[in-house]
């Protein structure tokens, strides 16, 4: 069995969440481009270097990675393809933990390098936009100590004093007796909590490119023969899916795989380990998948009313209402601003607390 060593670097500019390895950068470039010369151009390396590195790694691993047919462009062997997809899935599954580790390290270095940086602790349901917000805030001398958890766990962390902000999401128009109401109402109390507008986002079905199994709606999603990648109980996406299926008169089917994030669910489908997953449009498009939109939802940040006076929280609220944040959010497919930075009352926003006027 091959062993893994990890390291990290310090830099000023934004980096993505992945733990990088040069072999997989080469395999990915070869997979996308179809030849060593094209892969070398993508990596800004020489043909000789790429060829030598691939040969070296074949010797290191004891397995062939590339089909070297004379007069033909080099392509990945079945093992090379399998290795590349395995690494992609592992990266996607680990993304929330990597984000949490990086945030913890950045918080430590923020204290060491600059005492002027304000720190806000955030525990949130997994979301594609929050890392963008963290990076934007960092440039404004505001550090978001960001950790991902299921929506219910995030709200528990806020209520137990383990963070200053929590993030959760709820379908627009969820009824008073819905799964969303049953999950969130006991954990949010008018007068104690305040919502902060963040974003609207689209969830739906992620399938292989071209949708070869003709999965076009929830009735197709529950077909017995399908392999499904799903989210764990306690996550906001699982609550949403259960609610949508119940509304359609369908039972929630068993999942073949349980994945920790939208990106991991998308990679399970992209690698062929699953036929379909329910998740974010942004995650589907990032993995090159077909997407069937099903539901619009609002993603909120929530804090205690007593914390609204904190300077760091006031700075974040101002940042959310800025044109800079609107520009960042516009880069994500399926996302749109939703009263960003506006402090909102639970009873005026969440549908299960809205009562029809007496007449």
In the block, which residue shows the tokens 């099903």? 294
Mean pLDDT computed over 181-189: 93
Amino acid 223: pLDDT: 96
In DSSP terms, 292 is beta-bridged to 205
Q: Which of 262, 263, 269, 206 is nearest to 235 (CA)?
A: 262
First to last CA, the chain: 72
**Architecture of the domain spanning 86-353:** 3-Layer(aba) Sandwich (3.40)
Q: Is-contact 181 268, C-beta < 8 A?
A: no
pLDDT tens figures, 307-351: 999 999 999 999 999 999 999 999 999 999 999 999 999 998 987
Q: Is the pLDDT of residue 359 over 50?
A: no
Q: How far apart are CA 254 and CA 269, in angstroms?
A: 16
46-52 LR contacts (CB < 8 Å, sep 24+): 50/26
Domain chopping of the chain, boundaries: 22-76, 86-353
pLDDT range class, residue 193, cuts 50, 70, 90:
very high
Q: Report how far residue 329's alpha carbon sits from residue 341's, in angstroms, rounded to the nearest whole number.
A: 13
Assess whether the region 22-76 and the region 86-353 belong to the same CATH fold: no
pLDDT above 90 covers a percentage of the chain that reads 55
C-alpha dihedral sign at 42, 43, 45, 50: negative
How open is the CA angle 188-190-196, to the nearest 5 degrees?
75
What dihedral do alpha carbons 82, 86, 89, 91 form, nearest 10°? -130
Give the domain 22-76 fold: Arc Repressor Mutant, subunit A (1.10.10)
- Checking if the pLDDT of 356 tops 60, the result is no
Confidence of residue 176 (pLDDT cuts 50, 70, 90): confident
Residue 264: closest CA among 16, 18, 19, 90: 90
Q: Which residue has the tokens 């090159």?
A: 288
pLDDT in tens, 137-170: 988 889 898 989 999 999 999 999 999 999 999 9
Share of the chain above pLDDT 70, in %: 92
Number of other CB atoms surrounding residue 55 within 10 Å: 13
The pairing of strands 142-148 and 118-124 is parallel
pTM, entire model: 0.72
- Mean pLDDT of the residues in the chain: 88
Lowest mean pLDDT among 17-31, 168-182, 301-315: 17-31
Residue that is written with structure tokens 């499904």 in the block:
228
CA distance 78 to 80: 5
pLDDT digits (tens, 9 = 90+) for 284-310: 999 999 999 999 999 999 999 999 999
- Mean pLDDT over 253-280 rounds to 93
């Amino acid at each position: 069995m091959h062993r893994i060593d990890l390291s990290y670097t310090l830099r000023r500019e934004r980096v993505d969440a992945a733990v990088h390895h040069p072999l997989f950068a080469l395999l990915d470039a070869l997979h996308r481009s179809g030849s060593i010369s094209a892969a070398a151009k993508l990596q800004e390396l020489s043909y000789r270097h790429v060829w030598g590195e691939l040969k070296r790694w074949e010797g290191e691993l004891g397995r062939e990675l590339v089909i070297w047919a004379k007069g033909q462009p080099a392509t990945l062997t079945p093992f090379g393809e399998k290795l590349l997809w395995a690494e992609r899935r592992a990266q996607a599954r680990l993304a929330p933990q990597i984000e949490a580790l990086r945030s913890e390290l950045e918080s430590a270095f923020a204290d060491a390098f600059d005492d002027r940086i304000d720190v806000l602790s955030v525990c949130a349901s997994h979301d594609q936009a929050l890392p963008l917000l963290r990076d934007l805030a960092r440039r404004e001398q505001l550090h978001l100590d960001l950790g991902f958890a299921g929506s219910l766990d995030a709200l528990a962390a806020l209520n137990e004093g383990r963070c200053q902000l929590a993030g959760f999401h709820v379908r627009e128009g969820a009824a008073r007796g819905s799964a969303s109401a049953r999950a969130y109402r006991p954990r949010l109390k008018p007068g104690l909590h305040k919502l902060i507008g963040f974003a609207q986002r689209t969830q739906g079905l992620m399938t292989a490119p071209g949708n070869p199994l003709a999965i076009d709606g929830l009735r197709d999603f529950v077909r017995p023969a399908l392999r499904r990648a799903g989210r764990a109980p306690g996550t906001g996406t699982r609550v949403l899916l259960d609610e949508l299926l119940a509304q359609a008169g369908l039972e929630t089917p068993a999942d073949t795989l349980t994945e920790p994030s939208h990106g991991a669910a998308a990679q399970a489908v992209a690698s062929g380990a699953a036929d379909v997953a329910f998740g974010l449009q942004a995650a589907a498009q990032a993995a090159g998948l077909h997407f069937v939109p099903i539901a619009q939802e609002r993603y909120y940040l929530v804090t205690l009313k007593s914390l609204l006076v904190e300077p760091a929280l006031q700075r974040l609220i101002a940042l959310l209402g800025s044109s800079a944040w609107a520009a960042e959010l516009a880069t994500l497919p399926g996302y749109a601003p939703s009263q960003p930075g506006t402090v909102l009352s639970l009873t005026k926003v969440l549908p299960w607390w809205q009562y029809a006027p007496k007449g």
